[in-house]
Amino acid sequence: MGIKSNYNKFLKEYGGEHLFKNSHLSEFRFKKIAIDTSIYLYKFKACMGDNWMNGFFNMVQAMRRHLIHCVFIFDGVAPKEKNLERVKRNESKLKLQQDIKIFTDEIAEFHKTGIVTDFLNNKVGEEKPFDISEAESLLDKKQSHNFQIHSSDFVSIRSLLDIMKIPYYTATEEAEKFCSQLCINNLVDAVLSDDTDVMAYKCPVVLSKLNSNNGSCVVVRHTELLEALELSPAQFLDHCIMCGTDYNNNIPKVGSVTSYNYIRKYKTIESIRTEGGLDITCLNHERVRVLFTEFINTDVTNVPYCGIPDFDKLSQFSHDNGMFLNIEDFKQVFSEWIIFN
């Protein structure tokens, strides 16, 4: 999800590692941060399995521990231009499931006969002695990414947020777009998302790679991106479009570096066609520009602060959902917050 063509790698190589500043949540105390909910639902399901709800609790606890007011944004209706991306993701999902089945059968056959098939050798690597535990570890990793997202998951998240007194909204369109809009309109101070699309939306301040245990995170500021790459806002967006987004494909064999060189030389996608002679048809750039720059008017004029959780309900919710949370420790966070204020 996000800008394609290894975009973060490109930014680090051509903009500089300094663009991705190691930071800490304490630098954002008393600030409001919008969170792209779906990104973290996928992330927590992949890395925590059935305990994914704990991921959301830990995230909120980390925010509140550092006196940050968070607001969660849920996806609305995606534009039709995203349909092709959805088809690709479904195909990738099907391929993953097929690969898991073959992997499972091959490992079972090995335990039965001791025969190492070409499939297993290719997966583990033929340059070293075969180790079945490595194959089983690779299978576990694949299985961790084979999960389903259900509408009931979002109901559960909303229930948890209600109990924890955390505000949330459902976007008219995509969550990362609404998050960016809130930040552009100064209704929040930053957006937390591991999706690079927020950069294309010109989100002023983006947080990513949050570690809920120690509060560390990475901060990227849009103005610094433009300065480092020596691009105008319009040129930056055109470069994102040329790299490929959820709404369009990139030009075959034209990756992030080549695209950057084209934009630096010709300034606009149109000029790349007229002066550079490149076929830009697949970019659908005029429509994609609109998707990244035109925001639907919202009636949100103020994002509320977080409140004090209902700890009794939180304890019951934890029990009902098998979360086994340390409620007393969480209470202490708010006791300190109340005293501090």
For the chain, the average pLDDT equals: 93
The pLDDT value recorded for residue 330 is: 87
The pLDDT value recorded for residue 341 is: 43
Q: Where do the CATH 1.10.150.20 domains begin and end in the chain?
A: 233-293
Q: Which two tokens stand for residue 318?
A: 């934890």
Q: Look up the pTM and report it.
A: 0.92
Name the residue with higher pLDDT: 2 or 180: 180
Q: Which two tokens stand for residue 110?
A: 């090995």
- Provide the percentage of residues in the chain whose pLDDT is more than 90: 83
233-293 CATH choice from 1.10.3210.10, 3.40.1180.10, 1.20.140.10, 1.10.150.20:
1.10.150.20
Name the residue with higher pLDDT: 118 or 334: 118
Q: Where do the CATH 3.40.50.1010 domains begin and end in the chain?
A: 19-82+148-229
**19-82+148-229 maps to which CATH number?**
3.40.50.1010
